[in-house]
Every structure is written in C-alpha cells, then in structure tokens.
Structure 1
Amino acid sequence: MRREDKAWLQCINCHTTYPLNYSGYMCVECRDLLDVVLDLDKVEVRDWRVFNDRARGVWRYRELIPVDYSKRVTLGEGGTPLIECSRLGRWIGLKKLYIKFEGANPTGSFKDRGMTVAITKALELNVKGVICASTG
C-alpha cells in the first residue's frame, strides 16, 4: 500500500486535507497549522512486537513514520533515558516519578526527534534548505 493511502496532512482547525508531498506547513483555507494523520488500520505491521526487537530510537517505529526510510537522515535520535525523580515525586504526592531526559539526544534537544523526520522528508521532496526556529 502506498504511503499516501495511509497518511496525509490535515489542518488542525478546519480539517482540510493535503497530500504528504505538500510542501507547505499552513492550511491555505484558514492559515492554521497542519498535522500528520496516520490511519493505523492501514499500517502494514502484522505483529506490533516487531518494535521490541529493534534498536531504540525514532526509526524503531519506521512503519508509523510516513517517509522513505531508505533516505533517512539520523544521528541516533530518541531512546533517551527515564530518570527517577524520587524527591520531586514525593513533593507532588507520587510514589514514583520518572522524567524523560531529552538532553541525551545527539544535539541535546527534544527537537532532534522531529528534525530527523523533517530532514528526511525534506530530502525526499528535494528541498534545498531547511530552517528550524529555536529559542536557544
């Protein structure tokens, strides 16, 4: 099944849909943002346990990411550790609290997860340049 049949872009406001190869990030109807929608009923994974046997990281779940896996651009994003925060957990009334440490990503940012997919998609679409806004 083609990726286009199981995933598409959709406006978060008016729900207008666009094909995966649409290069914009805003809806032309209402100017709101677009989100990627995946029809899980059409994902070709016979046994979800297949993910358990793969290396940790974003691309472990490649069947759920609607880009050309053979063109992936990666530094090993994802698979960041959970850190137990006992004192903070007790302070807010929890028996156990774990916090995901996204600083363990290759560039030290949570943005690494999304950027590996975004850059892969840009390569797939033959985009010549990419900009990522950041506060720091």
Structure 2
Amino acid sequence: MHPTPKSCAPLTQEQQAVYLPEFENSFEIEWFSVAKDRLMSESVGESAHSKLETLFKLSTADSERPNIAENHVAFPMHPLQAKAWRKSDDYAAMGCDMVDLNTSSGGWRATSSTRAIYHPDMPGCSRFHSLSN
C-alpha cells in the first residue's frame, strides 16, 4: 500500500491545474542531450537510444531541432523534473555529459499517474527514470 496514494504535495494549485490528469491539460516537455554511455534503460526490442532519437524527431520541428553531439542522445524531461534538475548538484556534476537543449515540445499529458506521460500523436506512453553519475 502506498503511504500517500493521491498526494499532490509539493505541487502548488497552479501546478496541479497544469500537470494533474484530472484537469486534462497538456504541457511541454523539455529536452536535454545526454552522453549515450550515461543513459541506463530497460528497453525491449528497439534500443532506447533509437526510441529517444525517434521521439525527438517526431516531437520537434526540423527548423527548431538543435544539433546533438554524435556520442549524445536526446533526453526528455517533465518540466518540473527539468526545473529541479537544473538546480541540482548532480546536473552540475554531469558537466558536458548533459546539455540543456533549450527546446521543448507540447501536447503531453499525464496519465492516471503523474509519473507517466503520453502524447496522443506519439507512439506509446513514456516513462523516464534516472541517469547514472
């Protein structure tokens, strides 16, 4: 049993209105690039790198898509996760292994869990975990 099954803490009322599934709003995810050897995944079938590259191409217009280093792959983050990540010591410690692309893509929504998001025009749901230090 989860100790707080539907807790909305620490979200503000405004954040709840944007990010909780009950409000049926969409939001933009933010994109970073991460060194491929720092990415851990549990991908079945197609590689995680390939899935992320496809998702990035489908999510961003050609004219708005920044170039990514050969040894990096695009990595999406929920806007609240990205905000916290940018302030973290872990982000600073990543150095050039992680780059903020200053690019976002809209139309994403929370599923019944705020930890998983989906886009009605993208293949499958997306749930992202962590990076190794």
> Do both proteins adopt the same fold according to a TM-score greater than 0.5, normalized to the shorter chain?
no
- Structure whose alpha-carbon radius of gyration is higher: 1
The structure whose RCO (Cα within 8 Å, separation 6+) is larger is 2
Task: Return the structure number with greater strand share.
Answer: 2
